[in-house]
Amino acid sequence: MSETPGPPFSVSVRAADHLAKIVESITRLDLGTDFRLDIRLHRENRVRSIYSSLAIEGNLLSLNDVADVLNGQQVWGRPVDIQEVKNAHDAYEHLLTFDPYEVDDFLTAHRLLTQGLIREAGRFRSGDVAVFDGETPIHTGARPQFVPGLIGDLFAWVRESDLHPVLLSAIVHCEIETIHPFADGNGRIGRLWQTLILARWNGVFASLPMESVVFTSRPQYYQALRTAQRNHDATVFIEFSLGAILQAIEEVLVTYGDINVGVNVGRNVGVNDAVLTLLNVEPTLSASAIADRLGKTSRTIERHLADLKAAGRVRREGSAKAGRWVVID
């Protein structure tokens, strides 16, 4: 057992249920599908991860813009947004070279994420920092002189802990955001480090777009984080985080035709719901692309899309070629 004192938390019944389902679902994805060999989907998921993690922080580039930047194409946008995409790609490309318990690797990852963007890239902040909601401060990070010791103690505790890596990943994410060790980039490094801990347990996680679920659940993400910080207890954030991990796994299972999964906490989904799940994450998908993901014919998916439009559950915006779907419910 760990001798280093760890952060306060407990594992709720719901979180325990999520954990059991995560273990079962990731095993089904790893051993029951060709996901490990699906390089095309890995590339798409990487784009979605980068887009979502940056969009959470206010990056204005679209999903297609992010894909174009990573493909070396010219994109019209704020230079800072474009640089953030390039930096995030570098960090994710190096993900599996990092040791999740080494502070030096943590600093290196932050440098990759923020190089050319902030003065203290790859260094713990030298000043105080607070998180604001408009003009109101809602969280104050640790005093800068305590940050190195707090991160060192956190990583030492994780290294010694006997907790399941899924639980550890959520706790570490929460603690990074609470300590707020950097002048900028704390959210990005927190989500990256959670992915790293998960990927060290099962490499499949390196290619799962968990950030996409967090992006679509931003209010719940921030609420869980603020509640954990206010209560000085990570329990609520663990529950949210494990629910997001489970949803990310099951959304990918849906793309392999496994529609008997519990997307959004235990709900069995049919083809209509599988289509809605995909469009929530990738609203620019065409009927043929959805058909490929679900193992259906294009005609079948077009019929389901027509039914969903008639029922008022989706609508189409823009042209047939460059438009997007909007999920209404």
Full set of structural domains in the chain with CATH: 13-259 (1.10.3290.10), 270-327 (1.10.10.10)
pLDDT of residue 188: 96
Angle CA 81–226–88, to nearest 5: 25
CA distance 297 to 320: 19
Strands 324-327 and 314-317: antiparallel
Annotate the chain with three-state secondary structure.
CCCCCCCCCCCCHHHHHHHHHHHHHHHHHHHHCCHHHCHHHHHHHHHHHHHHHHHHCCCCCCHHHHHHHHCCCCCCCCHHHHHHHHHHHHHHHCHHHCCCCCHHHHHHHHHHHHCCCCCCCCCCCCCCCEEEECCEEEEECCCHHHHHHHHHHHHHHHHHCCCCHHHHHHHHHHHHHHHCCCCCCHHHHHHHHHHHHHHHHCHHHHHCCHHHHHHHCHHHHHHHHHHHHHHCCCHHHHHHHHHHHHHHHHHHHHHCCCCCCEHHHHEECCHHHHHHHHHHHCCCCCHHHHHHHHCCCHHHHHHHHHHHHHCCCEEEECCCCCCEEEECC
Whole-structure pTM value: 0.79
The upper half-sphere exposure of residue 36, i.e. CA atoms within 13 Å in the direction of its Cβ, equals 11
Measured distance CA(311)–CA(313) in Å, rounded: 6
Residues of the chain with pLDDT under 50: 1-2, 259, 261-269
Report d(CA 262, CA 4) in Å as an integer.
Answer: 37
Beta bridge partners of 262: 268
| Rounded-to-integer distance, Cα 210 and Cα 37, Å | 19
Count of other CB atoms within 10 angstroms of residue 179: 19
Measured in whole angstroms, how far is the alpha carbon of residue 116 from the centre of its chain?
Answer: 24
Q: In the prediction, which pLDDT does 4 show?
A: 66
Residue 203 phi/psi, 5-degree rounding, is -60, -20
How many Cα atoms occupy the beta-carbon half-sphere of 320 within 13 Å? 3
Distances (CA, A) of 149 to 126, 179, 262: 14, 11, 41
| Number of residues that this document lists for the chain | 329
Strand partners, 263: 267
How far is it, in rounded angstroms, from Cα 64 to Cα 275? 20
Residue with tokens 């570490």: 172
pLDDT of 294: 67
CA–CA distance, 130 with 72 (Å, rounded to integer): 36
